[in-house]
């Protein structure tokens, strides 16, 4: 049985999501990370959890299997929902330059989902060869 290789792009997208999520976790604890935000946010466990969703999404995407990509996409979708919660709850800014950065980050997260799902047919399923007969 020949092993299928995970597409390089999928590996890069998974690594990006993992690292970006870790950055969001740091923002949750510190209020700012690498001074990316114009105004620091108050430290919030909610922000850290949203970042954890992104990191977990990347980690599961890195499995290169259909089940992993599906779970990863669900975690990234939860991260997008978390962004909406942070803005609507007043934890993250809803106006100004930082709001634009949050919106762009959400668009990037949607792009991660679209790209990961675009490889769906090329991904191996978790079924054994005997089950496919």
**CA 103 – CA 32 distance, rounded (Å):** 17
> How long, in residues, is the chain?
133
Cα–Cα distance list, 111 to 47, 80, 129 (Å): 21, 11, 32
Tokens (6 digits) for 106:
């959400």
Task: Tell me the per-residue pLDDT of 62-78, one tens digit each, with 9 for 90 and over.
Answer: 999 999 999 999 999 99
Give me the residue label for tokens 């919106």.
Answer: 103
Position 125 scores a pLDDT of: 80
Position 37 scores a pLDDT of: 85
Task: Tell me the per-residue pLDDT of 35-56, one tens digit each, with 9 for 90 and over.
Answer: 888 888 889 999 999 999 999 9
Position 90 scores a pLDDT of: 93
**Residues of the chain where predicted confidence (pLDDT) is lower than 70:** 1-4, 126-133
Position 105 scores a pLDDT of: 96
Position 126 scores a pLDDT of: 66
- Is the Cα torsion angle 10, 12, 15, 20 positive or negative in sign? negative
């Amino acid at each position: 049985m020949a092993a299928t290789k995970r597409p390089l792009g999928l590996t890069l997208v998974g690594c990006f999501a993992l690292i970006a999520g870790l950055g969001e976790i740091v923002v949750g604890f510190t209020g700012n990370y690498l001074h990316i935000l114009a105004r620091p946010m108050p430290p919030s466990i909610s922000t850290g959890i949203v970042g954890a969703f992104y990191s977990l999404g990347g980690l599961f995407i890195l499995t290169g299997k259909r089940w992993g990509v599906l779970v990863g996409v669900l975690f990234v979708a939860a991260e997008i929902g978390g962004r909406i919660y942070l803005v609507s709850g007043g934890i993250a800014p809803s106006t100004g330059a930082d709001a634009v950065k949050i919106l762009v980050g959400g668009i990037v997260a949607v792009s991660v989902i679209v790209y990961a799902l675009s490889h769906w047919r090329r991904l191996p399923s978790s079924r054994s060869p005997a089950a496919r007969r």
